[in-house]
Amino acid sequence: MKALTRFSLPSPPPRCGWPNPNHPNPLPNHLSFASASSSSAAAASLSASAHPSLDKPPVVVVGSANADIYVEIDRLPREGETVAARTGQTLAGGKGANQACCGGRLAHPTYFVGQVGDDAHGRLIEDALSSGNVRLDRLSRVAGAPTGHAIVMLQSDGQNSIIIVGGANMSCWPDDPREEDLKVIRRAGVLLLQREIPDRVNIQVAQVAKSAGVPVILDAGGVEAPVPKELLNFVDIFSPNETELARLTRMATETFEQISQAAIKCHKMGVKQILVKLGAKGSALFVEGEQPIRQPIIPAAKVLDATGAGDTFTAAFAVAMVEGKPNKECMRFASAAASLCVQVKGAIPSMPARTAVIELLQSIQVEDVMKISD
């Protein structure tokens, strides 16, 4: 097996490592999400649930971390063609890191279990997660592979095409999960997985979570190969977008009736709940034996970048679920978070603070009341 080390950098405080009371981002007594321009009045308007508590079961994300190399283009190049990008920049991302950062910014204790290379991209990701209030105790640096990265081709309408290089996300995982990682998973409120790390790792940690009574949410994003039946056996909520749902079920998903039939096929595969992200058409939750719950989008003032919207939706749903909200409220909360996400460029930079999500939901409620009174 190739060498693998925990973060342990010179000079205090260490960036990451074994649990350490002097760690720069231990499970905090207080998280602050206010920007320099935010007023204290806005922070005071948060509900009590906006402040993380040590006794909250954490969100645990096991998954990928990438350096996202963004290029802004007018259109995708044709075969054999070279096009010039308007701008380019490198930002932290990856579906696992995105979801972990979303959980942290939504003021819920969140751990990220993942791997980065011993390189500048790895430090970029570590800094981004730390600034998103994510616990880094279980983040590993591997010597045998570079940090995963992605080329994100962002078009002027906010749509994107992405090419992923797995790097440390797909290499150097130990044969068996580390006991320290399993301890965190066993006491989680929910385990979030995606498909940008090896299936065998997902299967191992999902089995442990299931045995401990921890709900498992699997985001379908990542590799295009069929989801192993063994993994689905441990999944409580399966969350594809409509394209992924069509590919995995080999069924059409152009209409809501077709999506419903594809969800039924997923039920037959053993998953009781299917949470489908439908882009501009909103989202839908299919619970076996119940009527579907449909959630329209909460319109964004502007759409700049949809890169992290699906990850934001899934993670926000998970946070609301752990906090005991009913399914309809979970979906509304997730929709509000995704609406804010698409208005900012970059995946992790676009993850919204809980203050902003609550304020958006409150503004919608006021609008609804005004419409009724009219």
Output 371 or 29, whichever has higher pLDDT: 371
pLDDT at residue 358 is higher than 80: yes
User: Mean pLDDT, to the nearest integer, of 28-32?
Assistant: 28
Distance CA 64, CA 28 (A): 24
Residue 234 has what pLDDT?
98
What secondary structure letter does DSSP report for 50?
G
Distance CA 119, CA 160 (A): 26
Residue 373 has what pLDDT?
53
Cα-to-chain-centroid distance, residue 330: 15
Pull the structure tokens for residue 27: 């499970």
pLDDT at residue 264 is higher than 90: yes
Q: Which of the residue ranges 14-18, 192-196, 202-206, 327-331 would you say has the lowest mean pLDDT?
A: 14-18
Distance CA 202, CA 315 (A): 17
Residue 32 has what pLDDT?
27
pLDDT at residue 25 is higher than 70: no
Residue 11 has what pLDDT?
30
Residue 2 has what pLDDT?
42
50 near 106, Cβ under 8 Å?
A: no
Binding residues for substrate: 66-68, 94-98, 196, 311
Residue 17 has what pLDDT?
32
Residue 24 has what pLDDT?
39
pLDDT at residue 48 is higher than 90: no
pLDDT at residue 49 is higher than 50: no
pLDDT interval class at 15 (50, 70, 90): very low
pLDDT interval class at 268 (50, 70, 90): very high
Residue 374 has what pLDDT?
54
Residue 13 has what pLDDT?
31
- Mean pLDDT value across the chain: 85
Q: Within the chain, where are the H helices?
A: 40-44, 95-105, 120-131, 179-186, 199-211, 229-232, 242-249, 256-268, 309-322, 327-341, 354-373
pLDDT at residue 161 is higher than 70: yes
Residue 54 has what pLDDT?
52
pLDDT at residue 301 is higher than 90: no
User: Mean pLDDT, to the nearest integer, of 60-87?
Assistant: 94
149: alpha, beta or left? (left if phi > 0; alpha if psi -120 to 50) = beta
User: Mean pLDDT, to the nearest integer, of 152-172?
Assistant: 89
pLDDT at residue 216 is higher than 70: yes
pLDDT interval class at 333 (50, 70, 90): very high
Residue 119 has what pLDDT?
96
Output 23 or 75, whichever has higher pLDDT: 75
Distance CA 197, CA 28 (A): 28
**Model pLDDT for residues 99-151, shown as the tens digit of each residue:** 999 999 999 999 999 999 999 999 999 999 999 999 999 999 999 999 999 89
Distance CA 151, CA 128 (A): 18
DSSP of 194-232: EESS-HHHHHHHHHHHHHTT--EEEEEEE--SPPPHHHH
pLDDT interval class at 291 (50, 70, 90): very high
User: Mean pLDDT, to the nearest integer, of 333-356?
Assistant: 92
User: Mean pLDDT, to the nearest integer, of 156-169?
Assistant: 87
pLDDT interval class at 368 (50, 70, 90): low
What is this structure's pTM?
Answer: 0.82
Residue 305 has what pLDDT?
82
User: Mean pLDDT, to the nearest integer, of 237-241?
Assistant: 97
- Positions annotated as catalytic residues are 311
